[in-house]
């Protein structure tokens, strides 16, 4: 989730444009890309793209606002799962 947060904020390491992320035994490429605005404006609105490295057809591109909501929901789910996991003691 840290990679998504960094990309949402535009806080990339120098020379980087994407992060390779491992989640649920899968590898994904998460990148921040500029896409033409659907309204046809001259500005290019940044978006977040998440692609499965082993299935090129499995990808999604989201506006930054929606990507932020999805990231928050995933983080909440991870936190809840960690709290409800049986303790090892």
Q: Distance (Å, rounded) from C-alpha 88 to C-alpha 63? A: 40
Q: Distance (Å, rounded) from C-alpha 28 to C-alpha 54? A: 8
What is the pTM (predicted TM-score) of this model? 0.67
> Per-residue confidence at 42, pLDDT binned at 50, 70, 90?
very low
What per-residue confidence (pLDDT) applies to 35?
A: 67
What per-residue confidence (pLDDT) applies to 88?
A: 56
- Which of 9, 61, 3 has its CA nearest to residue 34? 61
> What is the average pLDDT score of the chain?
78
């Amino acid at each position: 989730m840290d990679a998504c947060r960094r990309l949402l904020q535009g806080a990339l390491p120098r020379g980087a444009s994407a992060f390779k992320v491992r989640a649920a035994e899968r590898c994904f490429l998460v990148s921040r890309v500029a896409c033409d605005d659907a309204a046809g404006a001259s500005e290019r609105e940044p978006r977040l793209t998440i692609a499965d490295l082993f299935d090129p057809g499995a990808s999604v591109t989201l506006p930054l606002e929606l990507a932020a909501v999805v990231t928050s929901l995933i983080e909440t789910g991870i936190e809840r799962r960690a709290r409800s996991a049986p303790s090892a003691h």
